[in-house]
Structure 1
Amino acid sequence: MVNGLTADGIDVRVQRRGTTGTIVILIDQDGERTMLPYRGAATLLDEVPDEWLEGLELLHIPAYTFKGEPVGDSVTKLILRARQKGILVSIDASSTGMLTHYGVDKFLRLMQELQPNFLIGNQSESEFLGLCIDGEAGPALSLLPDTIVVTKAGADPTVVLGSPTGKLTVTVPPVTGVRDLTGAGDAFAAGFLSTFLATRDLKSACVGGHSSAARVLCSPGASMPV
């Protein structure tokens, strides 16, 4: 895995301990997936050295990392250190299953403490957290005055709330030849965040996210065609 990421030009930093995690993914005829995860070493990330933050513009964290120790405490401290250094922070809501086990109120309190610049989730996750309901601001949005909430809704428009200009709705271009939804949400986040860093424009960031996600939807697994 490390060799593959390095070959793609990624500067990989790892801690080695425990057993590498595994996920069994079952894909139905519509491309929807069911995941059976074994997190393994993913929960064992310990204190992250300061040099891992050097040169960063943005730190992106999946909410899965808050469930389990020592990774939960390590990542929480890492985010606070990043904010102190002026690094932008993005958090992906991950899944309603994870949020259920972690606790919605507990998660929202943590978000209040961390005040990430971006909180990205799909429609189910945003509604579950009370952040975006039927495309409008939910009651929990007021808890995060410094956070831009980005809600994906599949083929329906992406909704951005908490932005300086108010609500932003961005249409998703149609995608043909969908094979597998695995990794599309992460691809959206990658496209959204990288485009935002390049343009500082939220609409352009959504367009970049949609483009990135579309490439993954048309390819089996969490991958893009070469």
Structure 2
Amino acid sequence: MLGDLVEDVVVWVDGPLRHGTDSAARVFRRRGGSAANVAAFASGSHPVRFLGCVGPDPVGDSVVAELGGHGVDVRVQRRGRTGSIVVLIDQDGERTMLPDRGAATMLEPVPEEWLDGLTHLHVPGYSFDGEPVGAAAVDALDRVRRAGGTTSVDASSTGMLEQYGRERFLALLAELAPTFVFANRSEAECLGLLVDGLPGPARARLAATTVVTKAGAEPTTVDVPGRASFAVAVPPVAEVRDLTGAGDAFAAGFLAEYLEGADLRRAAEAGHRSAARVLASPGASVG
């Protein structure tokens, strides 16, 4: 996994935000960052390495130690200031994020030994937004692919896609030709990969890529090049309090199962099981 390793400040708001005055809330501090989340969730099922950048500061020390405590092989450059993200969670579990990614954007091209032995590299879309991390992500994906490995990219968020540029992101995906693209329905529609539940006009530009589209409690669609797409039902979940990290947990479960030799349906089912574990806990954590 290559990408952000930051501190999440997760705020569970008790009722609507009251502008200009106090609003009751519970506040949690957690290790965060999309790529770091995927690494942590996948580590119990498959060997995982994380590549990123944090500051030479106590927060950086803390998040590196926490991620390493999951059994992840953590490789980080040190410069700048470790990033933080404020995550506001409403009573329905939906997130509003206020990111200050800090040192996460300062990752420079990684040494060859950091990629030695990797058979798959996963990069969230956030990692393309900013420099020098964007160039480092493209370079690492290219090196892993040329070495015979598989790759995946997560569309990350509609806000990020709009800031980066829809057409620019699609052109990047076409250039990278990842094995998998993960997106939720809103992200897939934003990119033109999905229109009214069917493959959209941009789908043909990713002719070598399997597109995995999540839709909350509705079935996940797996669209494989040259084959009929299929849907995988999402099992019911007893409680949904915080959606933070659910997409990362899905990607982790999917990729770990796939890399252990499972077919795509079983991989998606594993993704659903993994995502269900985080929905009642603050941030990208398991209660």
TM range (shorter): over 0.9
Q: Which sections of structure 2, spanning at least 5 residues, go unmatched? A: 1-62
Residue in 2 aligned with 1:77?
A: 139
Q: Which sections of structure 1, spanning at least 5 residues, go unmatched? A: none
Pick the aligned partner of 2:173 from 111, 119, 123.
111
- 1:7 is aligned to 2:69: yes
Shift of 1:199: 2.7
Q: Counting strand residues as a fraction of each chain, which structure ranks higher?
A: 2
Map Cα deviations across residues 144-177 of structure 1 (whole Å, 9 max, x no partner): 1110000000000000113453201000001012
Map Cα deviations across residues 165-196 of structure 1 (whole Å, 9 max, x no partner): 32010000010121211100100000011111
Pick the aligned partner of 2:246 from 184, 190, 200.
184
> Secondary structure of 2:78's partner?
coil
Shift of 1:224: 1.2
- 1:144 is aligned to 2:206: yes
Contact 1:91 1:118 (C-alpha < 8 Å) held by counterparts: yes
Pick the aligned partner of 1:66 from 116, 122, 128.
128
Pick the aligned partner of 2:183 from 118, 121, 126.
121
Q: Which has the higher contact order (CA 8 A, sep 6+)?
A: 2
How far apart, CA to CA, are the structure 2 residues paired with 1:103 and 1:41?
23
Aligned-pair identity in percent equals 59
Shift of 1:5: 1.4
Runs of 4+ in 1 over 4 A off after TM superposition: none
Shift of 1:57: 1.7
Shift of 1:104: 0.8
Superposition RMSD in Å = 1.0
Report the more deviating stretch, 22-31 or 192-201. 192-201
How far apart, CA to CA, are the structure 1 residues paired with 2:226 and 2:65?
41
Contact 1:158 1:169 (C-alpha < 8 Å) held by counterparts: yes
Residue in 2 aligned with 1:212?
A: 274
Number of positions where the alignment pairs a residue of Structure 1 with one of Structure 2 = 225
> Secondary structure of 2:65's partner?
helix
Pick the aligned partner of 2:227 from 141, 157, 165.
165
> Secondary structure of 1:80's partner?
helix
Q: Counting helix residues as a fraction of each chain, which structure ranks higher?
A: 1
> Secondary structure of 2:77's partner?
coil
Residue in 1 aligned with 2:93?
A: 31
Map Cα deviations across residues 39-90 of structure 1 (whole Å, 9 max, x no partner): 1001100011111111112100011111111111111111111110011100
